[in-house]
Amino acid sequence: MTSGPVYLDAASSEPLHPAAREVLLAALDQGYADPRRLHRAGRSARLLLDNARAVVAEALDVRPDEVTFTSSGTQAVHLGLLGLHQGARDGTITHTAVEHSAVLHAAAFAGGGRELPVDRLGRVEVAAPPAGTSVLAVQAANHEVGTTQPVTELAAVAGGVPLFVDACASAGRLPLPEGWSVAAASAHKWGGPAGVGLLLVRKGARWRPPFPADERIDERAPGFENVPSALAAAAALQAVVNERDEVGARQRALVDEVRRAVATIPNVDVVGDPVDRLPHLVTFSCLYIDGEALVTELDRLGYAVASGSACTASTLTPSHVLAAMGALTHGNVRLSLPREATHEQVAAFLAVLPDTVTRLRGEVGH
């Protein structure tokens, strides 16, 4: 067992970045007022909000007026995708088979979507979208297996169909791809505070509000702006982008080590593209084991990981991402490294994994 819990689930939520913590504490005393008000406290809050928008814009290479803060990445996905669909006025949302459930739920809300298949690595084919497509939804990188998608290439053959890009898993870790009309991101994925999302709407995009409007500073998103958290999210994003090359290279090397070691365990399938992927994430599936049991046992041993499998007694539903790839859906583990993960932590995890898999298989007669 480890001397203390080792957190290896950064793809769900990255620990708060030191830059975000420092800014958040300072902004709590300055950003409490309504940024629409003309009094001194309101003007101070507006200045902080505008500063946060400018920092995000510089980090992501977009315009400040293309940045909207939302209450979550999920809200940004719903607003972004449905707003493009609303702007198209007719047609059907087309999305890849491995999109996040937020995209699938939005497509269902809009009357249902068309699904594009992916290959065994989880990547969609570069081809023009089907006739009658209102919006093409394609993620920048997959949240379960890390595979990046050919967003720029798809935009080149889209024939005027706007692209919605879910960048929640990749923003900050990888540059935004070219060619999108609207994109979404989530601050807690890069070390910002939870409860902050980003809606990015390109100038000139055919986006229309899909829900009732609100009289806020930015009319694209409803609700009172969380100014301190927005500023902290911007600070974390700026820091993550500045350290991206160094942290990404270190994480990629550690993940390569995990992929090599896990592949030596019998009846284990390492999934996703080994090269064109998120630098910090790796997923593998173990035959003859329930994913929840494996995650629970690893947690008991001091390692916090996730499972893409939802094969529980209550749902009996496997991961739609793994199923679309034709991958093993049982005994699934997603390991995602936080920025401060060390070689020693990864080595210790790899030391306990084989025996854990063997022991759990033995308990079910394999």
CA distance 153 to 162: 13
CA distance 329 to 227: 41
Question: In 3D, which of 136, 178, 170 has the Cα closest to residue 153?
Answer: 178
β-strand 6-7 against 332-336: which pairing, if any?
A: unpaired
CA distance 163 to 116: 14
CA distance 55 to 59: 6
Q: Residues 104, 194, 311, 323: which is the catalytic one?
A: 311
For the question of residue 311 being annotated catalytic, the response is yes
Is 20 within 8 Å of 236 (Cβ atoms)?
yes
Listed in sequence order, the DSSP H helices in the chain are 18-27, 40-60, 73-88, 101-109, 151-156, 227-242, 244-262, 291-300, 320-325, 343-363
Residue 270 phi, psi (nearest 5): -85, 125
Distances (CA, A) of 301 to 2, 122, 304: 7, 31, 9
Active site amino acids: 311
